[in-house]
């Protein structure tokens, strides 16, 4: 049995150690690249030898040169770092291993609120937006609300059927970007992606503003704080999504289903009172919009239709997030999409009928849904519950964008149209960069428009219907290319969806153009140009063939430059490191830049006394600049020795407390930044941790 205590003496055997272990000529253990060391030691009896094998406690070896860090490895070592980490985990939760990714997937019950909250919540304002246009032609024209709603529901049915086809063809996720890119080309794909990105940002802004509008209907004294409430709602949503998709689904499930239940109770009880009760008595609010006298015409009807089409925003989300479902992913996604369409269509139709029957007037300070609830339920607990459920789902509707925008960012980054940062998943398996960017852009939009819903709505829906059209066109091209069984029927279904959504896109762009849609129409080409520019950069990087330093080890001749301020311990550490790597002391140069001749003479005297065996070059700076003369010397050294690879070794203080950074001028940091722009120069840091220099108390 091997002795568990450290060996007193190690020997080297002629035939090598057992089990592959070996020692160097001095009997020291040999370390393997997978953090395993082996040492041959003598046993208790003459001639006995054995190999002691030890692995690093921070890693688990799962194969040759294949390691997995154990729990706790890499934790912050400082008190401040540990405190920040505890705070982060309090907000976002403990890290989730990649191996547990399958457990974070969503069943149909959780997936519906995550991917459909945007579409379901649009019922709260879609009818109202139709009525706000029709009322301009007089109160008598409000009866057209129901026919327009029926047309929109028919269009919704077409889109739902079309996207079920898309999920069947792309069972691993077939968002508009992927479908358009693969079947129509790069530019149509980027157009769909740009339209979707614009729509997702607007979804978060509009949903937050609509949720705050519902709250201010219930509590009018909060009206002056509309912007602050909307920004706070976006921040809370971002934090919830940073905790992970499954947890977000659990958090948002209750408000979503509460809203659906309350809406069907409202519709059912309202229909019951109309059919079997004494009817409904409606009292308009003081802020009701006064009916206008505009002539009813095609443009007015199309404007009302365009405003009502906001009810369909978010219907594409499920096809984008198929892989977030539990197996069988595509089947569960198709069922969830159908359920969403039926629930949304029923609520939209019921609310539009009731609003028309009761003769609701849209108002500036009370929503149409609030007026309906007050008329049907009365001012009581049920009305309060309806308003709170509405406010919650309107705010949480933005979660659809938070679920899909980061995934779209991942696909774009994978195809090198966005920075690689968007491919990274955080501790909770969430696409952190996408979530943070979406929240930031939505907050900027809310601040610019002061959280005003009427100002944001005209910007809405242009992007989403553009992506609808391109997705359906891509599916038509897909069926025509693949010619799978039943492709003719599928082509017809997607073709109808393409034509219908293209018409709606044109109608929305024309009718909303002067009201703010022009901004989205201009923004989409700008985003396409930006995405293509990012892609061009990455393609150029891949095409680079010229090396700045030699590619063959035997061609690398290193010449070290060590900038020093004085002959102290950090400088000596850096010099020792450079001398250890250099072929000889002639290839190591210590450089001191000074604006004080007396100080330079003193350093030279110290250097002469120390006699390290390497050159000390003094550079006098007439204008007291450190970086300029040093960088000029390095450039001159490259020109003098063109075959050498100049390596700058920087000694650097690392303070133990944050405030100690203020006591140092960060010279090494500034030099590193400047040397990044000097091709062919390698920079190495030799840190000196100030905390290690402090004397430790002796044990009592």
Task: Check residue 669 and give its pLDDT.
Answer: 84
Q: Identify whether 2 is part of a domain.
A: no
Query: Would you say residue 258 has pLDDT above 50?
Result: yes
Maximum mean pLDDT: which of 159-163, 276-280, 343-347, 653-657: 343-347
Mean pLDDT for the stretch of residues 138-145: 89
Bridge partners (DSSP) of residue 421 are none
Task: Check residue 19 and give its pLDDT.
Answer: 40
Instruction: Output the domain CATH number for residue 386.
Output: 1.20.1740.10
Question: In the listed set 452, 486, 510, which residue is the last one of a domain according to the structure?
Answer: 452
The residue segments making up the domain with residue 225 are: 113-171+201-452
Mean pLDDT for the stretch of residues 662-691: 85
The pLDDT tens digits for 64-97 are: 777 788 777 777 777 777 777 777 777 777 776 6
Task: Check residue 174 and give its pLDDT.
Answer: 63
Looking at the fold, whether 165 and 290 belong to one and the same domain comes out as yes
Looking at the fold, whether 146 and 287 belong to one and the same domain comes out as yes
Looking at the fold, whether 283 and 139 belong to one and the same domain comes out as yes
Cβ-defined contacts of 652-657 (< 8 Å, 24+) = 652/570, 652/685, 652/686, 652/687, 652/688, 653/570, 653/687, 653/688, 653/690, 654/687, 654/688, 654/689, 654/690, 655/690, 656/78, 656/689, 656/690, 656/691, 656/694
Q: Identify whether 506 is part of a domain.
A: no
Nearest by Cα to 123 from 384, 372, 489: 372
Element (DSSP H or E) covering residue 455: helix 453-456
Looking at the fold, whether 570 and 424 belong to one and the same domain comes out as no
Task: Check residue 104 and give its pLDDT.
Answer: 64
Looking at the fold, whether 366 and 264 belong to one and the same domain comes out as yes
User: How sure is the predictor about 44, in pLDDT bands with cuts at 50, 70 and 90?
Assistant: confident
Mean pLDDT for the stretch of residues 21-34: 52
Q: Identify whether 648 is part of a domain.
A: yes
Query: Would you say residue 460 has pLDDT above 80?
Result: no
Q: Identify whether 108 is part of a domain.
A: no
Looking at the fold, whether 145 and 251 belong to one and the same domain comes out as yes
pTM: 0.74
Task: Check residue 226 and give its pLDDT.
Answer: 86
Looking at the fold, whether 121 and 65 belong to one and the same domain comes out as no
Mean pLDDT for the stretch of residues 332-360: 93
Q: Identify whether 158 is part of a domain.
A: yes
Q: Rounded to an integer, what distance in angstroms lies between the CA atom of residue 667 and that of residue 314?
A: 52
Nearest by Cα to 398 from 210, 125, 213, 216: 210
Q: Identify whether 50 is part of a domain.
A: yes
Task: Check residue 37 and give its pLDDT.
Answer: 73
Query: Would you say residue 270 has pLDDT above 90?
Result: yes
The pLDDT tens digits for 576-615 are: 999 999 999 999 999 998 888 888 889 989 998 888 888 8
- Please tell me the least confidently modeled range out of 446-455, 477-486, 681-690: 446-455
Looking at the fold, whether 24 and 136 belong to one and the same domain comes out as no
Q: Identify whether 615 is part of a domain.
A: yes
- For 471-565, list the strands marked E by DSSP: 558-563
Quickly tell me which residue has 């079997």 as its tokens.
276
What's the number of domains the chain is made of?
3
Quickly tell me which residue has 């929240």 as its tokens.
439
Could you give the 3-state DSSP secondary structure of residue 61? strand
Cα(first)–Cα(last) distance of the chain, in Å? 38
Q: Identify whether 623 is part of a domain.
A: yes
Looking at the fold, whether 52 and 123 belong to one and the same domain comes out as no
Query: Would you say residue 25 has pLDDT above 60?
Result: no
CB of 647 closer than 8 Å to CB of 682:
yes
Mean pLDDT for the stretch of residues 521-544: 89
Query: Would you say residue 22 has pLDDT above 60?
Result: no
CB of 122 closer than 8 Å to CB of 312:
yes
> What percent of the chain shows pLDDT beyond 90?
28
DSSP code at position 363: B
Mean pLDDT for the stretch of residues 214-228: 82
Find all residues with CB under 8 Å of 52, minimum gap 6, and list them. 2, 7, 21, 38, 39, 40, 41
- Per-residue tokens: 419: 């920075």
Instruction: Output the domain CATH number for residue 679.
Output: 3.40.50.620
Could you give the 3-state DSSP secondary structure of residue 30? strand
Looking at the fold, whether 151 and 244 belong to one and the same domain comes out as yes
Task: Check residue 612 and give its pLDDT.
Answer: 86
Task: Check residue 344 and give its pLDDT.
Answer: 94
Looking at the fold, whether 447 and 591 belong to one and the same domain comes out as no
Q: Rounded to an integer, what distance in angstroms lies between the CA atom of residue 497 and that of residue 476?
A: 10
Question: In the listed set 418, 452, 486, which residue is the last one of a domain according to the structure?
Answer: 452
- Please tell me the least confidently modeled range out of 46-60, 301-315, 408-422: 46-60
Q: Rounded to an integer, what distance in angstroms lies between the CA atom of residue 172 and that of residue 330?
A: 7
Question: In the listed set 409, 425, 452, which residue is the last one of a domain according to the structure?
Answer: 452
Looking at the fold, whether 122 and 61 belong to one and the same domain comes out as no
User: How sure is the predictor about 16, in pLDDT bands with cuts at 50, 70 and 90?
Assistant: very low
Task: Check residue 398 and give its pLDDT.
Answer: 79
Average pLDDT for the chain? 83
User: How sure is the predictor about 416, in pLDDT bands with cuts at 50, 70 and 90?
Assistant: very high
């Amino acid at each position: 049995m091997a002795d568990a205590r450290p060996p007193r003496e190690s020997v080297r055997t002629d035939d090598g150690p057992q089990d592959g272990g070996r020692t160097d000529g001095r009997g020291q253990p040999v370390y393997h690249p997978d953090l395993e060391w082996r040492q041959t030691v003598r046993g208790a009896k003459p001639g006995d030898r054995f190999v002691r094998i030890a692995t690093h406690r921070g890693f688990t070896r799962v194969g040759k040169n294949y390691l997995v860090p154990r729990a706790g490895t890499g934790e912050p070592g400082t008190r401040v770092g540990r405190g920040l980490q505890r705070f982060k985990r309090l907000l976002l939760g403990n890290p989730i291993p990649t191996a547990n990714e399958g457990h974070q997937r969503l069943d149909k019950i959780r997936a519906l609120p995550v991917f459909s909250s945007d579409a379901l919540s649009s019922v709260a304002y879609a009818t109202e937006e139709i009525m706000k246009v029709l009322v301009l032609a007089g109160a008598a024209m409000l009866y057209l609300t129901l026919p327009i709603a029926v047309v929109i529901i028919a269009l919704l049915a077409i889109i739902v059927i079309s996207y079920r086809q898309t999920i069947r063809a792309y069972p691993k996720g077939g968002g508009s970007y992927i479908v358009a890119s693969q079947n129509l080309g790069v530019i149509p794909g980027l157009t769909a992606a740009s339209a979707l990105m614009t729509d997702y940002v607007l979804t978060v802004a509009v949903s937050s503003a609509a949720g705050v509008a519902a709250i201010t209907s219930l509590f009018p004294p909060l009206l002056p704080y509309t912007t602050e409430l909307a920004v706070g709602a976006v921040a809370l949503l971002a934090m919830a999504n940073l905790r992970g998709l499954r947890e977000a689904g659990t958090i948002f499930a209750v408000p979503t289903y509460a809203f659906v239940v309350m809406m069907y109770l409202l519709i059912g009880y309202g229909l019951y009172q109309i059919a079997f009760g004494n009817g409904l008595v409606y009292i308009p609010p003081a802020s009701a919009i006064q009916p206008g006298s505009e002539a009813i015409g095609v443009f007015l009807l199309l404007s009302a239709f365009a405003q009502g089409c906001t009810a369909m925003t978010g219907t594409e989300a499920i096809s984008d997030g198929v892989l977030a479902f539990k197996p069988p992913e595509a089947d569960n996604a198709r069922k969830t999409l159908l359920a969403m369409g039926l629930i949304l269509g029923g609520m939209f139709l019921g609310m539009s009928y009731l609003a028309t029957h009761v003769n609701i007037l849209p108002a500036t300070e009370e929503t149409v849904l609030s007026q309906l609830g007050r008329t049907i339920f009365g001012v009581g607990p049920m009305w309060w519950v309806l308003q709170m459920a509405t406010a919650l789902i309107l705010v949480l509707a933005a979660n659809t964008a938070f679920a899909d925008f980061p995934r779209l960012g991942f696909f774009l980054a994978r195809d090198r149209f966005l920075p690689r940062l968007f491919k990274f998943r955080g501790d909770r398996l969430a696409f952190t960069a996408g979530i943070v960017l979406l929240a930031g852009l939505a907050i900027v939009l809310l601040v610019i428009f002061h959280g005003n819903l009427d100002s944001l709505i005209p910007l809405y829906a242009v992007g989403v219907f553009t992506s609808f059209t391109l997705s359906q066109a891509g599916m038509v091209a897909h069926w025509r290319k693949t010619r799978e069984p039943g492709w003719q029927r599928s082509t017809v279904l997607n073709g109808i969806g393409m034509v219908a959504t293209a018409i709606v896109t044109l109608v929305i762009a024309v009718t909303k153009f002067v009201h703010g849609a022009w901004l989205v129409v201009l923004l989409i080409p700008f985003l396409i140009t930006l995405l293509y520019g990012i892609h061009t950069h990455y393609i150029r990087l891949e095409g680079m063939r010229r090396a700045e330093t030699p590619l063959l080890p035997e061609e690398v001749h290193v010449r070290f430059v060590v900038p020093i301020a004085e002959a102290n311990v950090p400088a000596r550490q850096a010099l020792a490191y450079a001398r250890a790597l250099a072929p000889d002391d002639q290839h190591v140069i210590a450089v001191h830049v000074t604006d004080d001749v007396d100080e330079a003479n003193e350093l030279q005297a110290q250097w002469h006394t120390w006699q390290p065996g390497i050159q000390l070059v003094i550079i006098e700076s007439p204008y007291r600049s450190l970086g300029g003369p040093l960088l000029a010397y390095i450039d001159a050294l490259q020109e003098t020795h063109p075959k050498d690879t100049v390596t700058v070794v920087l000694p650097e203080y690392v303070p133990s407390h944050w405030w100690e950074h203020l006591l140092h001028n960060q010279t090494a940091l500034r030099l590193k930044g400047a040397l990044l722009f000097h091709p062919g120069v390698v920079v190495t840091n030799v840190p000196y941790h100030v905390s290690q220099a402090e004397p430790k108390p002796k044990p009592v």
